[in-house]
Structure formats: structure tokens, C-alpha cells
Amino acid sequence: MTSLLLNPCQDGGSIKNTGYECSEMLSVLVGGFAVPPSAKWTKAEMADPLEFFQSKIHEVKSKRFYPIFADLKNIEVAEGSDQTETYADGTTKMLHLAGYGITLTFADGGECLAKKLLSLNKKGYRFIPVDDNNQFKMRKNADGTYSGLKLTDLYGTRPELSTFAASYKNKLVMNVTLEEYITNAVIYKTDADLSDLMGLLDVDIESKAAAIATKVTVGATTECAGTDLYGLYADELAKPEAWKIQDATGTAVVATAVAKNASAGGWDLTFATQAGKTLSVGLADASVLAALEPAVTGYEGAKAAVIVIPSA
């Protein structure tokens, strides 16, 4: 990487020409994507924006995008106070322009969504805001790549609780500098409805029958609503690659076969003898589930079943 030695008295700075060809701007926001701070991508990767975002939703956790679209009902924009200095002669000089504090208020999701939003706190995540015209705003980096807008903070705050006069609402707050939101950002548009995208549903695994040395029987239900995945994906999840099994040391245990167990409402996972061991049985990573044929999309194993295998 090269650099330039400049004379500050001769440096023209980065003043831009004032001609413009269109009046692009974000319209009313409908939500957006929380993005890992290290995530970068190219314009070529976004040739199909809907496919791009769908794939990022199913990425491994360190690279995953988290869509937040839950019937947005209100947007509050707090503009900070610009810092100025007033001289003795009464003239004023601008020292620092303040940024924005943006609060999004959602009607849907209840306390299930509240838990998810609160989990963003103090994680340093960035954000891609999306408006009601399917426009979205990203940061354009000096190396030509893109990333989420760099925020001073992104967090879920306390929900508005139900009263006789108002219903329950969730809130997401972001604080961003003026330079980041305007100068460093670019806007793109897609013909797809990005607000239809939903984040992954967490899934809990539980034991459904007594284990033996070479087999366990497990079921799968969503964490919030308790939806039974056996009724939805009995055949799709009847595959060894759909499951992740480990012993107490973290060593992987390979499932040699998986079969539906209709009477138990789950699946029989068979493996080499594990007599006397304690096994953790969970769903495979979301990216693996999405790659199955046919695919199982929209789910992530949250809680594995801990199963003690009898000694004999």
C-alpha cells in the first residue's frame, strides 16, 4: 500500500463537485440487516440481492446477517447538537457536526423478538437499513468492497409494555455519525421485497425415547412457538448430514443412519457403540441444512439434547 506526502497548505481536500443527476435518498425505513463488523463483500457478489441476503442469513454465525423486519410502526430520528465555537467578536465557527440517533419501533415479535434484539447489545454489529422502496444503504470502503454502516452503537432497548391505551412494541436503536450515514454510504435498489426475509428460527432438540448403546431417538421443536419440525420435515431431516453429535470431550460421533420414527414423532439416529458416554445431539449448522436436497431453510439448532447412553 502506498501513500502521499502532502503540504496541508496546498491540499485541496475532498470537496466534491455539486452537480447531481438524481435525487436518490432512502425513503421510510421498514427495517434492515444487522451485519458482523468484519463482513465485507463485492458488488459482483450482490448481482442477485435477494439470493445474496438469503445466503448470508444461513451463514455460519461469525458471518451471518440478521434480518429485522417485524411490522415497523414508528421511526424516531434524534439529531444531535452540532458543536460550534463562538468568538469574542460574535462570529461562530463549526467544529463538529452531530449525527443521528434512530429508533425503530416494531409491532410484531413480542418477547420472543425482544430477546433476539437484546442479544445484539455490545456486540459491535453494523447495519444495512432498508426502505419501503426496497432501497438499501451500505458503506463503500476504500478498497472497493462494501460493508454495513459503521455505527457508534446498535442495540435492542426495553420494549414498550402493553397498557389499556397502547399495545406491546419492540425497539431497536442505532447511533451513526453524519459522515458515515451520508458521506461514506451508497444506496442500491432491488426489485425483490427484502422485507419478506425473516431471520432463522431457533430449534430445541429433545430425547423422545430411551437410548441404547448404538441409537438415540430425538425430536425437534422451535424455541418460541414449539412448532414440531417432524410434521414439516420428517423426510428432509432423515439424513445423517442433518445432525451433529458429540461426546462429552467434543469429539464428533458420526451417525451412520437416520430413520423416521413416526410413533415417537422424531428420528432414530444410529452410530457405532457409545455405551456409557454422554452425547450432545443437535441439528447441523444452518448452512448445512440449507444445502440439503431438498433444503431445510430458516432454522438453526439452538439447544442440543444431552443424552446419557446406558453402559449395557
70 pLDDT more than 60:
yes
CA 65/CA 43 separation, integer angstroms: 17
For 214-233, what is each residue's pLDDT tens digit? 999 999 999 999 999 999 99
The backbone torsions φ and ψ at residue 281, rounded to the nearest 5 degrees and listed phi first, read -120, 120
38 pLDDT more than 60:
yes
Report DSSP state, residue 265. T
16 pLDDT more than 90:
no
Q: Mean of the per-residue pLDDT values for the chain?
A: 94
Amino acid, res. 93: K
The pLDDT > 70 percentage for the chain reads: 95
At 71 the pLDDT is 93
For 97-140, what is each residue's pLDDT tens digit? 999 999 999 999 999 999 999 999 999 999 999 999 999 999 99
154 pLDDT more than 70:
yes
At 131 the pLDDT is 96
Any idea where the domains of the chain sit in the sequence? Answer: 29-196, 201-308
- How far is residue 291 from each of residues 106, 114, 284, 297, measured CA to CA in Å? 32, 30, 11, 9
10 pLDDT more than 70:
no
Paired strand residues for 139: 147, 185
- What integer is the mean pLDDT of 2-20? 70
At 2 the pLDDT is 66
At 8 the pLDDT is 64
For 254-281, what is each residue's pLDDT tens digit? 999 999 999 999 999 999 999 999 999 9
1 pLDDT more than 80:
no
Paired strand residues for 281: 245, 305
CA 285/CA 241 separation, integer angstroms: 10
At 54 the pLDDT is 96
At 17 the pLDDT is 84
pLDDT-based confidence at residue 22 (cuts at 50, 70, 90): confident
CATH number of 201-308, picked from 2.60.40.10, 3.10.129.10, 3.30.70.590, 2.60.40.1220: 2.60.40.1220
At 21 the pLDDT is 85
The pLDDT > 90 percentage for the chain reads: 90
Query: Virtual CA dihedral for 37, 130, 78, 14, nearest 10 degrees?
Result: 70
CA 195/CA 273 separation, integer angstroms: 47
